[in-house]
């Protein structure tokens, strides 16, 4: 009996030591930093007109709590039921949400789903992106001297082994290199100085990158950059006439090779153009968004708007925290 009590006390002590540990885990440091830089109040203000309290029935879940859960879904690539389960399972999530499991404060997956649908219905993710961009713009973090344009392919399930026995009709196929991809494209206009995304558009995968180039420019550019897929002789002449530096990589004409001078120019420009890869890397590699989560272009587009807004905050989080 005495041995059992001793073991129980030792077990409780070890759990207490674990809970009171001084060292912060990497995920806790990340969530702590993002908690400081995400403008919760401003984002909640965008949602509030559409999030009306009902006079009868169950009380509405706290708006900021649902917004934080939505952000967790973006950062950890979680589904609606997946994020509910993770909140119960992960102490770091509970700390970030400041939630009490004993008080039964965790919203169920249906509440989380309905909140996401509310955001998608009113295109509030686009407003989130714009709110964050305006904040960074006012702080002088988006310089607007030049824009780098690029596109990323987000794959969609190509299998027909589903309920409808067909692929998503709003997605399409495109060839990149020697490989075919089925899905959608995210087109980004990135600030050439900071590497932050200032403009974003989506299309189905078959649409050429160049079709969205004009929409990705803010109009104040002194220089534009892009890979050879954006090369356009008319645009090049237009930029020269407007005294705008044309930093799009040279493209070899059919049957001809690039000259040594063109190759050297392309290598020099590639170091600048590489900045456009930083936000894509965060979304695809760090946050794991490589495949569409939903059916249709709209829902996946809204998710990407939210992710690029949060990525901008992530890329400058240290600066924002130090200047707060």
pLDDT for 56 equals: 45
DSSP sequence for 2-71:
HHHHHHHHHHHHHHHHHHT-SSPPHHHHHHHHHHHHS-HHHHHHHHGGG-PPPSSSSPPPPHHHHHHHHH
pLDDT for 166 equals: 85
How do strand 223-226 and strand 179-191 relate by DSSP bridges?
unpaired
Q: Is residue 18 part of a domain?
A: no
In this predicted structure, which of 13-17, 106-110, 194-198, 292-296 has the lowest mean pLDDT?
13-17
Q: Give the Cα separation of 101 and 106 in Å (integer).
A: 7
Q: CB under 8 Å to 200, separation ≥6 — which residues?
A: 129, 186, 187, 188, 189, 216, 304, 305, 308
In this predicted structure, which of 79-93, 162-176, 243-257 has the lowest mean pLDDT?
162-176
56-84 residue pLDDT tens? 456 678 999 999 999 999 999 999 999 99
- Domain termination site, one of 121, 151, 167: 121
Full residue range of the structural domain in which residue 49 is found: 24-121
Q: Is residue 102 part of a domain?
A: yes
Q: Are residues 74 and 212 in the same domain?
A: no
Q: Are residues 169 and 280 in the same domain?
A: yes
Q: Are residues 191 and 93 in the same domain?
A: no
Indicate which CATH number applies to the domain containing 159. 3.30.420
Average pLDDT of the residues of the chain: 89
Q: Is residue 127 part of a domain?
A: no
DSSP sequence for 237-258:
HHHHHTT-EEEEPP-PPTT---
Q: Which residue has 């996946």 as its token pair?
A: 300
Q: Is residue 130 part of a domain?
A: no
Q: Are residues 74 and 160 in the same domain?
A: no
pLDDT at 16 over 90: no
Contact 190, 148 (CB under 8 A): yes
Q: Are residues 167 and 262 in the same domain?
A: yes
Q: Are residues 47 and 109 in the same domain?
A: yes
The domain tally of the chain equals 2
Question: Which sign does the torsion angle of CA 177, 183, 184, 190 carry?
Answer: negative
pLDDT at 308 over 70: yes
Q: Are residues 150 and 188 in the same domain?
A: yes
Q: What angle do CA 125, 126, 128 make, to 5 degrees?
A: 60
Q: What angle do CA 261, 263, 267 make, to 5 degrees?
A: 115
Q: Is residue 8 part of a domain?
A: no
Q: Are residues 111 and 166 in the same domain?
A: no
Q: Are residues 183 and 68 in the same domain?
A: no
Q: Is residue 134 part of a domain?
A: no
pLDDT for 18 equals: 54
100-134 residue pLDDT tens? 877 778 999 999 999 999 999 999 999 999 999 99
Q: Give the Cα separation of 302 and 324 in Å (integer).
A: 29
Q: Are residues 183 and 109 in the same domain?
A: no
Size (the chain), residues:
324
pLDDT at 25 over 60: yes
Q: Is residue 211 part of a domain?
A: yes
Q: Are residues 288 and 156 in the same domain?
A: yes
Q: Is residue 73 part of a domain?
A: yes
pLDDT at 302 over 50: yes
229-270 residue pLDDT tens? 999 999 999 999 999 999 999 988 888 899 999 999 999 998
Which strand (E) or helix (H) includes residue 273?
A: helix 260-273
- Domain termination site, one of 62, 87, 121: 121
Contact 42, 134 (CB under 8 A): no
Q: Which residue has 């955001």 as its token pair?
A: 119
- Domain termination site, one of 121, 152, 182: 121
Q: Are residues 57 and 150 in the same domain?
A: no
135-160 residue pLDDT tens? 999 999 998 899 999 999 999 998 88
pLDDT at 7 over 50: no
């Amino acid at each position: 009996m005495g041995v059992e009590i001793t073991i129980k006390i030792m077990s409780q002590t070890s759990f207490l030591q674990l809970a009171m540990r001084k060292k912060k885990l990497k995920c806790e440091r990340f969530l702590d930093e993002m908690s400081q830089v995400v403008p919760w109040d401003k984002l909640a203000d965008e949602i509030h007109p559409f999030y009306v309290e009902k006079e009868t029935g169950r009380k509405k879940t706290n708006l900021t709590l649902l917004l934080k859960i939505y952000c967790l879904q973006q950062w950890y690539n979680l589904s609606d039921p997946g994020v509910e389960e993770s909140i119960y399972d992960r102490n770091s999530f509970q700390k970030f949400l400041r939630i009490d499991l004993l008080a039964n404060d965790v919203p169920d997956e249906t509440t989380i789903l309905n909140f996401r649908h509310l955001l998608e219905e009113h295109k509030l993710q686009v407003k989130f992106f714009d709110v964050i961009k305006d904040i960074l713009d006012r702080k002088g973090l988006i310089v607007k001297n030049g824009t780098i344009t690029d596109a990323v392919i987000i794959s969609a399930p190509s299998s027909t082994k589903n309920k409808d026995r067909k692929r998503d009709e709003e997605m399409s196929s495109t060839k990149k290199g020697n490989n075919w991809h089925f899905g959608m494209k995210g087109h980004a206009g990135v600030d050439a100085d900071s590497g932050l995304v200032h403009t974003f558009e989506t299309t189905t995968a078959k649409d050429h990158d160049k079709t969205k180039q004009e929409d990705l420019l803010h109009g104040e550019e002194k220089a534009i950059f892009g890979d050879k897929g954006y090369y356009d002789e008319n645009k090049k002449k237009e930029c020269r006439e407007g005294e705008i530096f044309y930093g799009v990589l040279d493209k070899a004409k059919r049957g001809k090779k690039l000259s040594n001078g063109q190759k050297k120019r392309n290598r020099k420009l590639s170091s600048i153009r590489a900045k456009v890869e930083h936000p894509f890397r965060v979304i695809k590699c760090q946050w794991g968004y490589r495949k569409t989560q939903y059916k249709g272009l709209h829902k996946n587009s809204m998710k990407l708007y939210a992710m690029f807004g949060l990525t901008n905050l992530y890329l400058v989080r240290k600066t924002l925290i130090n200047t707060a």
